[in-house]
Amino acid sequence: MKGMKDLIDKESRVPIYLQIEELLKQRIYLEEFKIGENIPSERELSEQLNVSRMTVRQSITNLVNNGLLYREKGRGTYVANPKLEQPLNGLTSFTEDMRARGMEPSSKLINFEKIIPPFDIGRELQLEEDEYVFHVIRIRNADLKPMAIERTYIPVKIFPELDEKKIMGSLYALIEARSHQKIGNAIQQMEAAIVSKEDSKYLQISTSQAVLIIKRTSFLTDGVPFELVRSTYRADRYKFISEIKR
């Protein structure tokens, strides 16, 4: 295993622990490290790569948190079994979601207006009584057929200059730049229902069909909510996949 340390560039602007993560991920993917087998010990890796053990440990900790590895005290660190279906957890946008499912997304803007939100929406967005929100309604298509109808609420104070054009692009980058905050966590609620008469037209399904309703509230890293999306999916076309991590 000579020359292993050449794999790490200590002068690089990318942190060593990230380089090590990439290295390990590659070797797992190439099945150099096989499922269920243990990878080299932390001490071994630190010698081979000529970095300190604590740095190797940081890399491994991240991969353990990502579910690629698991540790057993006194035994070693092992490659975990890959999941059959990749969870679509991290995804937030309809576009990403559909692409990951191998379908071509498209959208049609139905409505864009500035309103005082319904009470429950205002409460979830932690707004004052008389605060305005943008209300956006869009039909979301996958492979040109309706998949969902999406109603989005964004506080005006978060992004006052929002308009019909900006809404079509990548909002998140704009919001991050404007608020000097990054997009943080989100909370989702999911329920089943019978489609409403109005939505059945938009979704092009008959009444008395089932729909999956997903309500997602997204937060900036400081915990301020900046978006609430209520999506109504055709149950015959859409299944939601997520992962529970321990």
- Check if the beta carbon of residue 20 is closer than 8 Å to that of residue 7: no
Nearest distance, CB of residue 41 and DNA, angstroms: 3
71 binds DNA (CB under 7 A): yes
- Check if the beta carbon of residue 181 is closer than 8 Å to that of residue 173: no
Type of residue numbered 239: K
The footprint of DNA on this chain (CB under 7 A) covers a number of residues equal to 27
From 24, 28, 33, 51, residue interacting with DNA (rule: CB under 7 A)? 51
Residue with the two structure tokens 């997602």: 216
- The region of 13-21, 79-87, 143-151, 183-191 touching DNA under the rule CB under 7 A is 13-21
Cβ closest to DNA, residue 18 vs residue 241: 18
Token pair recorded at residue 173: 């980058």
Cβ closest to DNA, residue 10 vs residue 145: 10
Where does residue 88 rank: exposed (0-12), middle (13-18), buried (19+ CB within 10 A)? middle
170 binds, among a second copy, DNA, none (CB under 5 to 8 A by kind): none
Type of residue numbered 105: P
243 binds a second copy (CB under 8 A): yes
CA dist., res. 129 & res. 121, Å (int): 11
- Residues 239, 244, 246: CA angle, nearest 5 degrees: 175
Would you mind telling me the total number of residues written for the chain in this entry?
Answer: 246
62 binds DNA (CB under 7 A): no
Best CA proximity match to 162, nearest among 150, 174, 173: 174
Q: Per DSSP, what are the bridge partners of residue 139?
A: 108, 149
Nearest distance, CB of residue 159 and DNA, angstroms: 20
Token pair recorded at residue 118: 């319904």
181 binds DNA (CB under 7 A): no
**One symbol per residue from 40 to 79: x for binding a second copy (CB under 8 A), - otherwise; what is it?**
-------------------------x-x--x-------x-
Token pair recorded at residue 150: 């999406």
Best CA proximity match to 235, nearest among 215, 214, 213, 211: 211
10 binds DNA (CB under 7 A): yes
**One symbol per residue from 77 to 96: x for binding DNA (CB under 7 A), - otherwise; what is it?**
x-------------------
From 83, 161, 197, 206, residue interacting with a second copy (rule: CB under 8 A)? 83
Residues at the interface with DNA (CB under 7 A)? 10, 13, 15-18, 38-39, 41-44, 50-55, 57-58, 71-77
Residues at the interface with a second copy (CB under 8 A)? 35-36, 65, 67, 70, 78, 80-85, 87, 89-90, 92, 123-124, 126, 183-194, 208-213, 216-217, 219, 221-225, 233, 235, 238-246
